[in-house]
Amino acid sequence: MKEKLVVVLAVLMMCIAPSLVKFADAPPLILALYRMSMAFAAMLVFVLVFQRAALRALTRRDVLVTLAAGGLLGLHFAAFFASVQLGGAVTAATVLANADAVLVAAVSVFFFHKPIRGRALWGILVAAAGILTVIIGDWNGRAALLSDLAALAAVVLFTAYFLFGSHQRKTLTNGVFTLLAYGGSSAVLLLSALATGTPLTGYAPVNTVSALCLAIFPTILGHGLIAWAVRYLAPVYISMNKLFIPIGASLLAYFLFGVLPTVPQAAGSAVVLAGLALYLSAGAGAGASPEDASEVSP
């Protein structure tokens, strides 16, 4: 019972991420950089205190691969933040950015030759139809369409991060893997900001506060609690709970900002969530693992 309550708390922590992004007005690269740098600092203290031996046991390959995977994670957050800032409601952005199961399954089929059958296949097809519904509904709205495209970029980057770092995630401790991933995120976001000429400072204090809250609540508490709970609960149970994140995020954004999704966004998002639920109820299908449940966005 305690473990299930922890998952509920983690999901609630993740629900607030889109609203925190909407409160900020800094460029997505900077907000993501602030968030991941703060989370990296917190993880560095944790690992140095509790997992120093695991840190000393790292190989060069583990460090390089995990840093590279973390770079993809950082770009994922920048793309997701851009999607939230461009869109009015957060429903479509949150649903699309969390539809990684669709892409992981596709990669598993086409590249690793893992077949998907029965309900799992139908779930993926239904979710894909929902994604198309959202995009077609936003086709005539430039900002909404750009928001959808940014969310799709976010899910591609997240899937690449998940697959690229899958071996290291299994062999390293959660703390060390997270430390290196957050370090890679921070480094790539910093380099991206410098390369694009995006100023690193000079933003309103609300951006620092939002980034700090993003680092504490959805990142350290949300992701951290999920990583703990996955040791004790079935991955499908955790993944099913993850489907409530877009719903909670949308409700919070409505109460704070008065924004509602359009009819196509709401309908398409509902179809995506239904498809993902069907996919997960079939036993999580191809490409799913406990680690997939512990790595969630936002």
Three-state DSSP at 261 gives: coil
Provide the residue range defining the domain that includes 31.
2-294
Does the pTM surpass 0.85? The reply is yes
Give how many domains the chain has, as a whole number: 1
H-type helices in the chain, by residue range?
2-15, 17-23, 28-50, 52-56, 60-86, 91-97, 100-110, 118-137, 142-164, 166-171, 174-195, 205-214, 224-229, 235-242, 244-257, 263-281, 290-294
Alpha helices, DSSP H, located in 98-141: 100-110, 118-137
DSSP 8-class letter at 72: H
Radius of gyration of the chain (CA): 18
pLDDT for 140 equals 73
- The per-residue pLDDT for 214 is 97
What residues in the chain have per-residue pLDDT under 50?
Answer: 284-294
The two tokens of residue 116 are 């998907």
Token representation of residue 82: 């851009």
> Taking the CB of residue 94, how many other CB atoms lie within 10 A of it?
29
pLDDT value, residue 296: 59
- Quick count: other Cβ atoms within 10 Å of Cβ 174? 18
